[in-house]
Amino acid sequence: MSKARKITLGTKEWADSNVNCYSGCSNNCKYCYAKKMAIRFNRKTNESWNEMVPNQKAIEKGYMKRKGRVMFPSSHDITEESLDNCLVVLEKLFKSGNNVLITTKPRFECIQVICKKFIKYKNLLQFRFTITSINNGLLEFWEPNAPLFEERLKSLKYAYEKGFKTSVSIEPFLDKNPFTLVEKLLPYITESIWVGKMNYMSSSNINVNDKKYYYSIYEINSNKNLLEITKKALKFGKIIRLKDSIFNSLGLNKLKRN
């Protein structure tokens, strides 16, 4: 019997370590796994998750050069409220020579500030903007306090035009066919576009009107649709990267190009 393939999930597919400097995240996404874990371990409640509390220890400490790539942040976002402290931590990471993957549902003003402040660390910085749909109705439902599509696209264009390394995470993809979105993003990508499925959704406070959103996820996560996505991805070449969760659902070995 062949040895089971090791599945890497979530952020481990992208970086060797994570840094965060807040607890809680005002975006309050309904599929947030960090929120689920924070509630399970009594660090937050369903109501308090969207309050972003600075972690002074993480903000004030020093950061040495780490092995491999560092992802910042992974369990909160860079918002107008958290920007100043995020800049403090990012500066320490860059000054120590770390390669940093900045992952965010981008707010244009924050991206402008980051680009201006860290222009000299351009070679150490890659942006990975999470843009999960072109449909603002879906974004407003699943990611209630995050920026709308137009602001995220504007941020991507800005970072690209300033000469930064750019990539996008379409995880979780919220449109049945994520390739309409892919086509819009491609001109502004220097690295990769990652497509992943929704692995978790909160079932708290669902009302009758919300049910259609949940049912649609079952449909777009069906094996039939995932298979269609793996086929379409091949046409785009190496720039499209499918996350392990898709291959895992289909019982397929990851394609070599990933």
Of 17, 20, 75, 258, the one binding ligand SF4 (CB under 6 A) is 75
Q: Which is nearer to ligand SF4, 172 or 178 (CB)?
A: 172
Beta strands 53-54 and 69-72, pairing class:
unpaired
Distance CA 212, CA 153 (A): 27
Is 79 an interacting residue with respect to ligand SF4 (CB under 6 A)? no
Q: Yes or no: say if 188 and 152 are a contact pair by the CB < 8 Å rule.
A: no
Q: Which is nearer to ligand SF4, 71 or 125 (CB)?
A: 71
Task: For CA atoms 122, 18, 77, 243, give the dihedral sign.
Answer: positive
Q: Which is nearer to ligand SF4, 27 or 126 (CB)?
A: 27
Of 14, 15, 21, 27, the one binding ligand SF4 (CB under 6 A) is 27
Distance CA 195, CA 212 (A): 22
Beta carbon of residue 195, minimum distance to ligand SF4 (angstroms, whole number): 16
Of 19, 32, 193, 229, the one binding ligand SF4 (CB under 6 A) is 32
Torsion of CA 231, 170, 256, 246, to 10 degrees: -70
Of 85, 93, 101, 105, the one binding ligand SF4 (CB under 6 A) is 105
DSSP 131: -
Beta carbon of residue 24, minimum distance to ligand SF4 (angstroms, whole number): 8
Beta carbon of residue 103, minimum distance to ligand SF4 (angstroms, whole number): 8
- Rounded to the nearest angstrom, the gap between the alpha carbon of residue 2 and the centroid of all alpha carbons in its chain is 33
Q: Give which of 67, 135, 146, 134 is closest to 103, Cα–Cα.
A: 146
Touching ligand SF4, residues 212-251 (CB under 6 A): none
Binding site for ligand SF4 (CB under 6 A): 25, 27-29, 32, 34-35, 75-77, 105
